[in-house]
Structure 1
Amino acid sequence: MRARTIDHDQVRALHAENLTVPQIKARVGGSPAYLRLIIKGKVGIKPTNISRQSALSLAGRPAKIPAFDTSAIVEGRTVYRSTVVDPGSYGFDVLKSGFNSSKIGKAVTKGRWKGFPIYTLTLEERATCPLSCRHWRSCYGNSMQHAHRLARGAALEARLEQEVRALGRRHRRGFVVRLHVLGDFYSVAYVALWQRLLAEVPQLHVFGFSARWDAERDPIAAALVRLVLAKWNRFAIRFSDAPIDECSTVSVETPLQAPAEAIVCPQQLGRTVACATCGLCWQSKRPVAFITH
């Protein structure tokens, strides 16, 4: 009988979600000893200080988009309902090390934020996003079945305030938070929380993306735009598919569609390992083109 093949990337992803070795064994098989070797990076990959996993370019990979009448699309929620957790009872940090993400990385290696460790925050896609988002169906959360999605609200905001302040004490030179791996700014009060933390925790630096750019019709967008314009050097949030010349992104299906003034994401093209080794999104205000995947 042929031995069962173990997906090393899946093992590391499950470990990053704080599953124990016995729990991982129940899902993927294998011996506990071999699973520990995979987790420690002793087999299957070369050791790295950037990420637990190796990132791949998008070349040759098809996009995955659910049907428009799928319940998650219609109801405005994630496809993976069981992965939404209550921050009040969540037993782990809500801000995760970027080391757990192949596309983000552990710490910045170049530019003005060099040396700053990176942390990430994952909310529930669609439930926190504006319906105007151009990736309502094609959100890459559709393929992130293992991610823990934190429910929006007061419990989340209390945890964030606590953890950001603790990180400020731990990383005196500075640290970075990626907002949001999934999800978006969901209320004016939530935007105000980040504004207050920027003022009170000078070590805090933020980068990320938001589909909320219509300041004329969306009060959340209005608050967010004001904060970005005032604090870009520490709050580098780009506006997704916004009709503006700076601090924006544009979605393309092929690099050939990228506007002349935009830079195609180097990580997606395989030209750099991760956000940590690139820094483009917070170093420059030029539009960045992302390939839909």
Structure 2
Amino acid sequence: MRLFGVSLGEGNVKVGDVFTFSLPSRKTCPGASSWCWDYCYAYRYERCRPGCQDAYERNLSLSRDTGKFIRTLIGVLPRIMPCFRIHVGGDFYSVEYVHAWQRICSAFPQVKFWAYTRSWAAPELRTALEGLRSLENMQLMASTDPAMPLPPSGWRVGFVDADPRAQGMLCGEQTEQQESCLACGYCFQRSEGDVIFRVH
């Protein structure tokens, strides 16, 4: 769905009937490891679907104008929605961009936002990300992989099953115990507990 220059995903089989926002992978992923570059599902998806890649590039262009980005998202997002997934592809790439999402999430206190990020590994973004994840309606999980250290204490962690340190609940959607992320709610309804994803 494209409205006023922003492209929103309207859900899929995995996440369910959930609005999503994405950016181009790799160029917006300052915390990505070599392992992530090799196995990134979003990058593969973007290469197979040029339309998605174009939409994500438009989103990136919009996001660089912080004020316009905040106004646009607050203006187009539905007031009534259970949750919102930030970054099916892409990641938090700058302090200004993180602060923009903090403003957007704060404007929708009734909505559960969630995201997974490797940008916690970028020291210049850590403080801003701590501010974002402090919001009551935001669940920001630290993604990691075998090539990365463990995130700081206090963060919920999104592991991959290839990581020998992995602990937590196996993704309910991937194990087919839940129909979708929306039906499960583990990652965005809870405030604690790690999750393990199968590499795909």
- The alignment's TM-score, normalised by the length of structure 1, stands at 0.55
Quote the Cα distance in structure 2 between the aligned partners of 1:160 and 1:196. Answer: 7
CA contact (8 A) 1:129 1:185 kept: yes
Counting only pairs closer than 5 Å after superposition, residues 88-107 of structure 1 correspond to structure 2 as 93-98=6-11, 101-106=12-17
2-structure distance, mates of 1:278, 1:159: 30
Which of the residues 106, 110, 114 maps onto 1:207?
114
The one of 143, 151, 159 aligned to 2:44: 143
Q: Which has the larger radius of gyration?
A: 1
Correspondence for 1:191: 98
Show the counterpart of 1:166: 76
2:137 partner amino acid: R
User: 2:25 is matched with which residue?
Assistant: 125
Q: What are the Cα deviations for residues 167-211 of structure 1, in whole angstroms up to 9, with x where unaligned?
A: 2xx434x44221100000011111111111233333443111000
Alpha carbons of structure 1 residues 160 and 121: separation in structure 2 relative to 1, 3 Å = farther
Distance 1:239 1:141, change over 3 A: same
When residues 164 and 204 of structure 1 are mapped into structure 2, their CA distance, relative to the original with a 3 A threshold, is farther
- Cα distance in structure 2, aligned partners of 1:166 and 1:142: 27
- Cα deviation for residue 245 of structure 1 reads 5.8
Q: 1:258 to 1:289 in 2, by over 3 A?
A: farther
* 1:249 is the counterpart of 2:136: no
Larger helix fraction of residues = 2
- The residue number in structure 2 matching 1:221 is 126
Greater RCO structure (CA 8 Å; 6+ sep): 2
Matches of 2:109 and 2:43, distance apart in 1: 35
Contact 1:246 1:286 in 2 (8 A): no
Q: CA RMSD in A?
A: 2.7
Name structure 2 gaps, 5 residues minimum.
145-149
Match 2:143 to one of 240, 245, 268: 240
Residues 200-247 of structure 1 show CA distances to partners (whole Å, capped at 9, x for unaligned) of 333443111000113xx522232112321x21x311110102434641
2:19 is aligned with what amino acid? Y
Identity, in percent, stands at 25
Q: Tell me, which stretches of 5 or more residues in structure 1 are unaligned?
A: 1-16, 19-86, 107-117
